[in-house]
Amino acid sequence: MKFYIATDHAGFHYKDQVKEYLSSKGIEVIDLGPETADRVDYPDYGRKCAEAVRDDAGSFGIVICGTGIGISMAANKVPGIRAALCHDAYTATMARAHNDAQILAFGERVVGMGVVQSMIDAFVSTEFEGGRHERRVEKINAIDEAYCE
Ligand code: RB5
């Protein structure tokens, strides 16, 4: 299992802890930045992570900003990417089980590291259920296709 991770300055302080947690679980993690806590724009990093995940079939991503809102919005603009803004283990589980999300998004100013670890545990251990959910995910992909001429 391979994860790409990217944040803005407001999610930067969690990045190393999340990388260490993924590594402790034997999961490969590739850091797409930023390298310092200097102010940056979350669309640049949401896009970077989403493009990396899109170009590396079977990989996953984690994006973090202050709320998780802006960086997940940006990631979701990349066609084929489903980034899920999660707040707890339940939403992280459902993001995989029902939505086949490839990217887990959350806010450093919203959730503590204990909750972050529980979301990661849920996200990496849950498979997409397929079935009726497959049709719905395909309908999400069809929206991308309709606007990508
Ligand atoms: C940065 O101050 C903040 O706006 C950003 O991290 C994020 O919360 C945006 O959605």
Residue 142, exposed/middle/buried by CB under 10 A (0-12, 13-18, 19+)?
Answer: exposed
74 lines ligand 1 (CB under 6 A): no
Q: Residue 134: what pLDDT?
A: 98
Amino acid at 36: T
Report the alpha-carbon distance of residue 58 to residue 123 in Å, rounded.
14
Residue 148: predicted pLDDT = 86
Answer yes or no: is pLDDT of 149 > 80: no
Tokens 């802006």 belong to residue: 70
| Mean pLDDT along residues 123-127 | 98
Amino acid letter, 57: A
**Single pTM value for the model:** 0.98
Of the residues 9, 65, 87, 133, which is catalytic? 65
Tell the residue nearest (CA) to atom 7 of ligand 1.
66
Kindly list the distances between the CA atom of residue 115 and the CA atoms of 76, 92, 96, 120, 123, in Å, as whole numbers in the listed order. 23, 10, 17, 9, 12
Token pair listed for 52: 């990396």
The answer to whether residue 98 is catalytic is yes
The domain locations on the chain are 2-148
Of 67, 73, 76, 87, the one to substitute when testing ligand 1's pocket (max ligand atoms within 8 A of C-beta) is 67
Cα 89 to middle of ligand 1, angstroms: 22
Task: Provide the CATH topology of domain 2-148.
Answer: Ribose 5-phosphate Isomerase B; Chain: A, (3.40.1400)
